[in-house]
Amino acid sequence: MITTQKNSNAPTPHQPRVFRAPVAKIQNNNQTFTPPPTHHLRPSVPHLRNSSDEKKLRVMVVGGLEEIGRNCTIMEYGDDIIIIDLGLQFPEEDMPGIDYIIPNISYLKGKEKNIRGVIITHAHYDHIGGIPHLIPVLGYPPMYGLPLTNAIIKKRQEDYKNLKPLNIHNINIKDKLQLGSFNIEFFHVNHNIPDSMGVVVRTAEGVVIHTGDWKFDYQPIAGDETADLQKIARIGSEGVLALLTDSTNASQSGHQISESEIGTNLEEIITKSKGRLIVGTFSSLLARIKQIVEIAERLGKVIAIDGFSLKSNMEIAKELGYIKVRQQTIVDIKNIEQYPPEKVVIICTGAQGEKNAALMRIANGEHRSVRLIKGDTIVFSSSVIPGNERTVQRLKDTLFRKGAEVIHYQMMDVHAGGHAKADDVKLMIRLLNPKYFVPIHGNHFLLCLHGKVARSTGIPDENIFIADNGQVMEFKNGQGILTKEKIPADYVFVDGLGVSDETNVVMRDRQLLAEDGMVVIIATVDSKTGKLVQNPDIISRGFVFLKEHKELIEDLRHRVKKVVVDSDPLSWADTNFIRNKIRDYVGQFLYTKTEKRPMILPVIIEV
């Protein structure tokens, strides 16, 4: 059984409460609770400040403006800083060996003491994945999130045994926080994971809204609520300076489909399935998993869960009451052969074609407990992440070859996106009526298309900020400007051995090796005279097949020999000089002959 840390101050999902935090003041039910004085607590700054104050509100998005992933927004006012989300981005095809990418927070170096809090909008990895790597660097500032979000964060943190415990606090959607000069509120939004929220940041310069990932679902599944339209409208009536909002699906017309509609289709599939049903989905799509579990249980079927992260999230959701299921309904995947095929539902990870995930292992016949049999139905209950199209197609081809019936979202509505479409965005804009509009969470073309949607609602061009990662937005006296200033926002890579923003050198080497291969030149020279002792050895990997290019290799060997002889110093072997000369000469020669640029590795052995 996976347990989450118990806290006497922890609320139930629907019950507001009050707690004290050492660097924040939290207000609930119109009562303000101030923590006892501490040596590091700054005085509270009133919400209304003198307009002549020289301070400016600076908003900087350092991840999520040129990609979908590694979402991170920094807001700074004077000596106060808050951060919204610390996510990761999964590597692209031209990033061999990279596990994932996280935001560059080097701008905050030396400002750690000014960070009043980190707010997490929801528990998807593109919003929480950077926490284990970045929170220690930031000095473990206080973190705030809803209960499910925090539980998933803490569970993942268990994989990093050498780190200190997080300074993390459960909040309720009705809570109010004072973090330095920032007054924070929250509002409920729909997404495909429970406990998703938007953030209202009240500053001396005006109100800034960060929606997180969201959609409007007017028929949410049981246990969820519709987005809090009344609260959003109330905030809008008070005046909103800037709206930062999700661009992922904003270019698509219409409204996002409801999870309830997906539930209807899933129930039909599960009911009519005459064999085993295998559903591939994301481990974080807890709303979808909840539907599948409840439908299967209602139809008297057993459920097997496979995938480490999926099992972990399932246990957390059960513990917090988001998913309720009888104990006998969940069975070990090792025991599914004990049940009739038509009574078995398997929920597993791997719908993106991940090499080691459960669905891929099932398709390849490598799974310990599951072998595809005639009559099995495979449901892909997720959309394809951009960049994964090829691997997903290969997975589908494999499943079809094995005789399985495959159902995916392009054939039938078995997946509802978690991101607002154009008409949803227009409604959000109408409710909030922001002066400035900042599309976030998307590639540049998505931001531009999102900007067009905002323009159609009447927001003028000059008030729509299409920014790059790290580009500074400043707000003062009700006026905003997208400056030309940029803070560091380039990639920071995590490759299993560590974290580095200088891995771009390694990345270039890996890309070069992947595209043109490598050639190793081994020359043995006399350590005293520098004379060549024997013919150079040449090794090629990923460049040319040696047996089919003997003439080229012999020509190269002869030329390397000449380079070494011509480089012969008077009395000693200057191996560094010889090595550099071989690298330059061989690289130029091979490009002339082949129009390829393999990596050249000269090795000089002194004897």
Q: Which residue has the tokens 């003439």?
A: 551
For residue 476, which of 56, 6, 33, 7 has the smallest C-alpha distance? 56
Of the candidates 213, 246, 424, 495, the residue annotated as catalytic is 246
What is the rounded distance in angstroms from the CA atom of residue 548 to the CA atom of residue 536?
Answer: 19
Name residue, tokens 């923003």. Answer: 501
Contact 391, 276 (CB under 8 A): no
Does residue 246 carry a catalytic annotation?
yes
Q: Which residue type does 317 have? A: A
> Is 99 noted as a catalytic residue in this protein?
no
- From start to end of 358-426, where are the E strands? 377-380, 405-408
Q: What is the H or E stretch that residue 540 is in?
A: strand 537-541
Contact between 490 and 104 under an 8 Å Cβ cutoff? The reply is yes
Long-range contacts of residues 184-189, Cβ cutoff 8 Å, at least 24 apart: 184/82, 184/117, 184/119, 184/144, 185/235, 187/227, 187/228, 187/231, 187/232, 187/235, 188/225, 188/227, 188/228, 188/231, 189/213, 189/214, 189/215, 189/216, 189/227, 189/228
How many residues in total does the chain contain? 607
Which amino acid type is present at position 282? F
**In angstroms, rounded to a whole number, what is the distance separating the alpha carbons of residues 181 and 150?**
24
Look at residues 140, 145, 104 and name the one whose alpha carbon lies nearest to residue 124.
145
| Antiparallel, parallel or unpaired: β 57-63 and 471-476 | antiparallel
Tokens 């323009």, located at residue: 455
User: Which is the catalytic residue, given 133, 367, 415, 419?
Assistant: 419
Q: The dihedral of CA 15, 20, 21, 23: what is its sign?
A: positive
End-to-end Cα spacing for the chain: 63
Question: Which residue, chain included where needed, has tokens 């009240």?
Answer: 202
CA distance 361 to 368: 9
Residues with active-site annotation: 246, 419
